[in-house]
Homo-oligomer: A and B are copies of this chain.
Amino acid sequence: MTAITRAEALARVEAGIAKAEEIGVDMNIAIVDDGGHLVQFSRQDNAWLGSIDIALKKAKTAVLFRMPTSVIGEISQPGGPVYGIEHSNAGLVTFGGGLPITDEEGNVIGAVGVSGGDVVQDTTVAEAVVRAAVPARA
């Protein structure tokens, strides 16, 4: 499987920062690899401190289940099929702002987690990270 590189992760985070500046919200942006291990992180100057951990956990959550955090949020509501799943894996974050990152063949090679705005803003920045132009992979 293709591995996410530092060069790619750095390019993705900077693309996310550019989008955050465009929409005028200070964000925390984290990129993890396919095993959920941190590769790159950046916090803008006035971003909420409480959003650091949320960004990290959104990225972890998205890669551990290879799906957007928002999907897990929908199915883990009270009465839903996986209610309480957020207590597993030393804590998940199950609202929007975490997205898997895939290679050209569709394999999940990592994930991004964004936190600092509302869920729509976080998701907008996460999508910019996913769509970012990245250096060619080996």
Contact = CB atoms under 8 A, between A and B. Distances in A.
Interface of A: 1, 3, 5-6, 9-10, 17, 33-45, 48-54, 57, 61, 63-66, 73, 76-79, 81-95, 118-119
Contact of A65 (B5, B10, B48, B91): B48
A112 to B, nearest CB: 14
Copy number in this complex?
Answer: 4
Contacts of A54: 85, 88-89
Contacts of A52: 37-38
Most buried by B among A33, A50, A86, A94: A50
Nearest to A75: B118
Nearest to A28: B38
